[in-house]
Amino acid sequence: MTTPSTSESNLAPLQPPNLYHLSPTYNKWCALRCADIVLLQDREVYFEGKRIHHYLNHPIRYIKLIGLIVAIDDFSRRRAYTIDDSSGACIECVALLPPPSKHSTSNPNSQAAPPPSKPTEPSIEHPQIPWENVEECKVVRILGVLSTYMTMPQIQIIKMGVVGNTEGERKWWDECRRLKREVLGREWRVSQEEVARWERRERRREERGREGGKKTKGKIKERKTERDTRDEVDKAQPDLLTREDEGKRKARPNPNPRYKDPQHLLDIATHPSTSTSIPNHHPHPHPKPTYEHPPKHRPRDSSPNKSTSKSQTTSPIKKRIIPVARPDLAKYNTFGL
């Protein structure tokens, strides 16, 4: 297997950091042995606020490691695992311990504080580790982020699990060999086509951002202009009706309006002939009904010139008005009328 050269003259030229997303190793879990991790070069390159290590000129950030735990050291807030994968070197992997549960010792009757909510995804601040099952002389699989402590590479654990059989170790060794042969064995080169494609994509993204900003500013300006114009018209002609007001005025009246005055309902019931008149809140007292005597029968006319058809002249029948007792409207809910 090839190893990176450490001489300054033989160092591979680095690509611009804004092209790191095109690298086959930057956003990928790289299966590396402990001996390869120790040989990674710190060329003082910072991207997205973090120091980037390189193998030749390949930027590497995420590490996948399988090895045996040979030592465990506990500190105030973290735990360090020393991993040996039989490659001739050891690497230190550090994990942040979970916060201790806050129990009140002064008052035994007080209830304990609820445990903190678990994050949905593991991270450096909240690693996913089976703390009770991980111990010395066990083979573990580690996923972490590469960092530096005292000029020595170190892995910050994100996820750790116990490897139950040798099949997982074999697959990891095959992955290490494949990565070294196909990717890390030669320098990372970016073609001009990829650079031009990336520049076009970034240019389109900037144009879309500018167009979106212009559209938003244009809409705000149009709304402000309309508002100013409407204010000027209102000041110049305050009695001018808008289209909405004209439409409302031209609306047809309701042919059967519902009156909310209960007194008007009583007037309609007692005076059907004057139901279409405007309701009066102080009506006149009801007149007493008048009764007329029927007319007397005329004597029969026995003259020969009498017509055979009977006379149809009869007096019209007058309506009789019967007084109605007014109920107490306070007992009914008339708001729905």
* CA neighbor of 287 nearest in space, from 270, 263, 275: 270
Q: Is the domain of 93 the same as that of 200?
A: no
Total tally of structural domains belonging to the chain: 2
- Residue 21, Cβ neighbours under 10 Å: how many? 11
Structural domain includes residue 269: no
Structural domain includes residue 48: yes
Q: Is the domain of 87 the same as that of 207?
A: no
Q: Is the domain of 63 the same as that of 131?
A: yes
What's the mean per-residue pLDDT of the chain?
74
Structural domain includes residue 231: yes
Q: Is the domain of 34 the same as that of 87?
A: yes
Q: What is the pLDDT at residue 14?
A: 84
Among 157, 190, 223, identify where a domain stops.
Answer: 190
d(CA 140, CA 95): 14
Q: Is the domain of 176 the same as that of 215?
A: no
Among 204, 235, 266, identify where a domain stops.
Answer: 235
Q: What is the pLDDT at residue 76?
A: 85
Q: What is the pLDDT at residue 337?
A: 37
Structural domain includes residue 334: no
Calculate ∠ Cα 199-202-203, nearest 5°. Answer: 85
Q: Is the domain of 60 the same as that of 44?
A: yes
Helix (H, G, I), strand (E, B) or coil at 30: strand
Structural domain includes residue 306: no
The structure tokens listed for 232 are 């000027």
Q: Convert 156-187 to b/e letters by CB count within 10 Å (16 or more is b).
A: bbbbbeebeeeeebeebbebbeebbeebbeee
Q: Is the domain of 137 the same as that of 166?
A: yes
Structural domain includes residue 45: yes
Structural domain includes residue 315: no
CATH number at 31 reads 2.40.50.140
Q: What pTM, to 2 d.p., does this model score?
A: 0.54
Q: Which domain holds residue 62?
A: 17-98+120-190
Q: Is the domain of 76 the same as that of 218?
A: no
The structure tokens listed for 175 are 């992955």
Q: Is the domain of 143 the same as that of 228?
A: no
Q: Is the domain of 55 the same as that of 202?
A: no
Structural domain includes residue 196: yes
The structure tokens listed for 181 are 């042969």
Q: Is the domain of 185 the same as that of 161?
A: yes
The structure tokens listed for 8 are 């300054």
pLDDT digits (tens, 9 = 90+) for 28-83: 999 999 999 999 988 778 887 788 889 988 999 999 999 999 999 998 889 999 99
pLDDT > 70 fraction of the chain, expressed in percent and rounded: 58
Q: Is the domain of 81 the same as that of 50?
A: yes
- Flag residues of the chain having pLDDT under 50: 7, 9, 104-106, 108, 110-111, 275-283, 309-311, 327, 329-337
